[in-house]
Structure formats: structure tokens, C-alpha cells
Structure 1
Amino acid sequence: MGKIQKDRSDSEMFANWQEDSSFENMVDGQTESHPVQRGVKSDEKGVQSFFTPELKEEIGKALLELKVNLYKQGIVDFKLTTTVKDQQIILTAMPKKAIKK
């Protein structure tokens, strides 16, 4: 066994080291781990550029008001559909299940 060299960087020490596959580092049968990329996709950046913080807040308040009104009518599960008509974007709440009375 040789002498341990001092003042080496981490990349120099682990230059030729390869980790063995085990249950701890193997996911779904893959032997290589891939770094997780976080952040916003480039397509989403373009879409989100339409929404200013003020517009996000205004739309959020309107959706909350819609949700409260639907709850008062007994509709809890609903989905929103979007349509474009002339210069308007229309959000319509559609119940997922039939209304039970």
C-alpha cells in the first residue's frame, strides 16, 4: 500500500472510482443515476410570462369565489374548461359527477 498524497481535491481522489450497483442506488432496475433537473421548462416560461403577479392574484380570487359558490350549490368535484371567444377567455366549471339532491 502506497502513501496517501496530501492536498488532493475531491475530483482527483475519486477520478477512477465507480460505485457498485446496490438496492440503495438502483431505481427501477436502472444502474445509472441521472441528476434531477428542476426548474421551469422553456415552454412553461413563455406561458407564464402572460401572468403578472397582480393578474395571478385577481384570477386566484375569482376562482376562489367560484369554488365557494359551487360548494354552496353542493358541487365539490368539478373541472374547469377553457374556451376562447373573440377577445375573451372563458373558464367554465363542469361538475365531475351528477349533482345529488
Structure 2
Amino acid sequence: MAKKIKIKKNLTDEDMLASYIKNYKAEPSFEDIFDDTKPDSNLSQKESFLSNELREKISKALLELKIKLYNDGIIDFDIKVTCEGHQVLLTAVPLSEKRNKKIR
């Protein structure tokens, strides 16, 4: 027979979540790449190729590109990286026409 679990009454939020918070392990996410508060195990800040300012500029430019593509009805795309002379070009390439129809 199933074991009965007794639920304690009149607990605070902290008391209810105490065991969850104690055992919680956050998974790394995309935002953690640009988080400067967490030390990177592979590279220290001195060895990083991109400065914080340059990383922020690239992030803003990619966000603007994503918004423009969304307004044009392109939702699924890939970023193609090419090098021409002294320039690095990031080009958005739609993945498929069927999936990128404008949502109205």
C-alpha cells in the first residue's frame, strides 16, 4: 500500500521551499555566457579575447538583428560567420520558408 505523506500546516514560504533550495542545482544557460559575475573555468578575465564592452555591443547588435528578422516574419534562422579582409561578417540565413511564415 502507498505510504501516506503528512503535509504540515501553517508553514512559511521559506520553510516550504527549504529542502528544494538546499538541493537545487542550476543548469548553465545562454545568459551565463555573458554573465561577468561568474568566473569562467576555462578563461580568466585577463585571457578573454573579447572585452566586456565589445561583448555588450555584439549582444545588442544581435538582438537588434533578431527583432528585425522577427518583424519580417523570419523566426528560425542560422548565423553564418565569414571573414573578408579585416572584417568579420555575421549573416542571418533563414532555415526554411515553411517555418518562417509571418504570424498574424
**Counterpart amino acid of 1:50?**
F
Tell me the CA shift for residue 57 of structure 1: 0.2
Structure 1 gaps, min length 5: 1-37
User: How far apart are residue 39 of structure 1 and its match?
Assistant: 2.6
1:1-101 pair list within 5 angstroms? 39-40=41-42, 45=43, 49-98=48-97, 99-100=100-101
* Alignment length (residue pairs): 59
Give aligned-pair identity as a percent. 46
RMSD (CA atoms)? 2.2
Q: Which has the higher contact order (CA 8 A, sep 6+)?
A: 2
For 2:52, the aligned partner's letter is P
What displacement does 1:97 show?
1.1
1:19-64 residue CA offsets vs partner (Å, 9 max, x unmatched)? xxxxxxxxxxxxxxxxxxx932xxxx49x72200000000000000
Structure 2 segments unaligned to the other structure (5+ residues): 1-39
Name the SS of the counterpart of 1:65 in structure 2: helix
Relative to its length, the structure with more helix (as a share) is 2
Query: For the residues of structure 1 that align with 2:87 and 2:48, how far apart are their CA atoms?
Result: 18
CA distance in 2, matches of 1:52, 1:80: 22
Q: Which has the larger radius of gyration?
A: 1
CA distance in 2 between partners of 1:83 and 1:49 (Å): 21
